[in-house]
Amino acid sequence: MGVQHHTVVKFGKVRRVAMMVTPQCGGDFKDEAWEALSTLRAILRQQGEPMEVTMQTVFLRSREDVPVAELLFEACYGEKMPLTLFVVQPPCAGRGIAIEAWAVGTTHAKVNYHDDHLVTVEYDGLRWIYASGGSLHREGRTAYDQSLDGFQNLRSALNRGGVPFEDVVRTWLYQGCITEEVDGVERYRELNRARTDFFADIPFDKRPIITGLNGHAIYPASTGIGTLCHGLITACMALQTERKDVFLLQLENPLQTSAFDYPKEYSIKSPKFARAMAVRAGEDVTIWISGTASIVNAETVHQDDAAQQTEQTLTNIEQLISGENFARLGWKDAGATLGDLAKIHVYVKHATDYEKVRAVCERRLGRLPAIYAVADVCRPDLLVEIEGVAFSRVREPGHFPGGDL
Ligand code: 3EB
């Protein structure tokens, strides 16, 4: 049985399970992959109701294992293949594979597997949409063109489900050779230029249920990170609802310059993403925390010190999700602490920093479902990036942002 860590969250009658699985036994890649998949199944069987996996990210040590993994996973899931990203980022625990997956109980929720790039989940008047823009290869495409392709593919997948791009609340961007310069320009900067151009026409701020920092632009939360594959993987999550007690809040961090306001030295066109997106449905608040790094204002701090960078990153997250920050942005009855994190994903630039980074995370967070993987962060001096999801409840049920109902 693999090392399994999972968190169960109940939204009314609906059960959601966040799972982080790493195989325990070494061996060849197929053995490890089967063990990880069996472990996922075992967790789901413990839930006492039928469960289906909606989205999963599979972290692989080697590019060569991607085709094998694709076949194995398709054989395992059959018609119910979740939205799946195969990302080449070697798991720090030394195995060839690690899986991060979300499942939902189907007694009270309906999952639709539209196609390989689109899965939707419906319950309680909420419709969550998971879409992917596929895994693009680099041949013949500039970083700018490839990034545009990625976003356009995402839009096509969403549109097949009747979802406009402005309903996106979170994106994941895994870019190969992210800090490599081509013709004097870093690939990540070109991704930012393409994202800026693509987002220019998207009316994120026209959604009546979303608010943010007064007078600021609205963008999805995001993770932008490297991968050992040459190319780009894009994915996103969108939310649709007719409910009158569902609201979205874009969180920005008082400790950090908003990414979309970074000065030009970091990127000609700034990175258009939110520090986090909070979703409030009735009393439940879910916070999707963007990839967060050791940046204060707009500058990298603690160069060359992975432990201190981890401390700063967690402090940034703590402030971001705090009650004071929610109050500053208009939600006076919401907020979370590091103890409310349901899972984290830690990207470490140098495998040799793993123990140091993990020690800081475990000291400040306790034991929670986590995956550590090796990846380049989008600035050469950043050694760690952490994303996560936190769950909390509002303090005053019945009170809504913008007035009582
Ligand atoms: C930062 O704070 C670190 O380009 O979508 C974090 C999360 C980062 C998302 C993105 C980049 C992105 O600037 C890098």
C-beta of 309 in contact with ligand 1 (< 6 A)? no
Q: Is residue 122 part of a domain?
A: no
- What is the reported pLDDT for 396? 74
Instruction: Report how many domains make up the chain.
Output: 1
Coil, strand or helix: which one is 75?
Answer: helix
Place of tokens 């963007």: 290
The CATH number of the domain holding residue 58 is: 3.30.1330.40
Domain carrying residue 51:
1-107
305 inside domain: no
Residue 58 included in any domain: yes
Nearest CA to ligand 1 atom 11: 224
Nearest atom of ligand 1 to the alpha carbon of 295: 2
**H-helix or E-strand spanning residue 76:** helix 66-77
What token pair was written down for 257?
A: 């310059």
pLDDT at 2: 57
Q: Is the CB of 316 under 6 A from ligand 1?
A: no
Beta carbons within 8 Å of 363's beta carbon, 6+ residues apart: none
Candidates 32, 186, 252, 385; catalytic one: 385
* Amino acid making up residue 283: E
The answer to whether residue 385 is catalytic is yes
Ligand 1 atom showing the smallest separation from residue 171 Cα? 5
pTM (2 d.p.): 0.96
Q: What atom in ligand 1 is closest to the CA of residue 192?
A: 4
Give alpha helix (H) positions in 130-238. 143-160, 187-199
The string over 29-46, giving b where at least 16 C-beta atoms fall within 10 Å of a residue's C-beta and e elsewhere, is beebbbbbbebbeebbee
- The confidence score (pLDDT) of residue 405 equals 39
Instruction: Give the C-alpha separation, 150 to 144, whole Å.
Output: 10
Listed in sequence order, the residues at least 6 apart from 266 whose beta carbon sits closer than 8 Å to its beta carbon are 298, 379
Query: CA–CA separation, 181 vs 256, rounded Å?
Result: 26
In a domain, 356, yes or no: no
Does 221 contact ligand 1 (Cβ within 6 A)? no
Q: What's at 371, amino acid-wise?
A: I
Contact 307, 360 (CB under 8 A): yes
Atom 13 of ligand 1, nearest CA residue: 259
Task: Dump pLDDT digits (tens) for 195-237.
Answer: 999 999 999 999 999 999 888 899 999 999 999 988 999 999 9
d(CA 235, CA 116): 12
From the CB of 310, is ligand 1 less than 6 Å away? Answer: no
> Do the domain assignments include residue 52?
yes
Q: Is residue 49 part of a domain?
A: yes
Question: Is 35 part of a structural domain of the chain?
Answer: yes
CA of 294 to the centre of ligand 1 (A): 11
Residue 290 Cβ < 6 Å to ligand 1: yes
Q: Give the chain's residues under pLDDT 70.
A: 1-4, 397-405
Question: Does ligand 1 have an atom closer than 6 angstroms to the CB of 224?
Answer: yes
CA of 320 to the centre of ligand 1 (A): 15
Does residue 31 lie in a domain region?
A: yes
* Model pLDDT, residue 227: 96
Ligand 1 pocket test, pick from 258, 378, 381, 387 with the greatest ligand atom count within 8 Å of Cβ, gives 378
pLDDT, position 402: 55
Nearest residue (by CA) to ligand 1, atom 5, is 224
Rounded CA-CA distance 282/226 in Å is: 36
Q: Does ligand 1 come within 6 angstroms of the Cβ of 173?
A: yes
Atom 12, ligand 1: residue with shortest CA distance: 224
Residues 123-136: pLDDT tens digits? 999 999 999 999 99
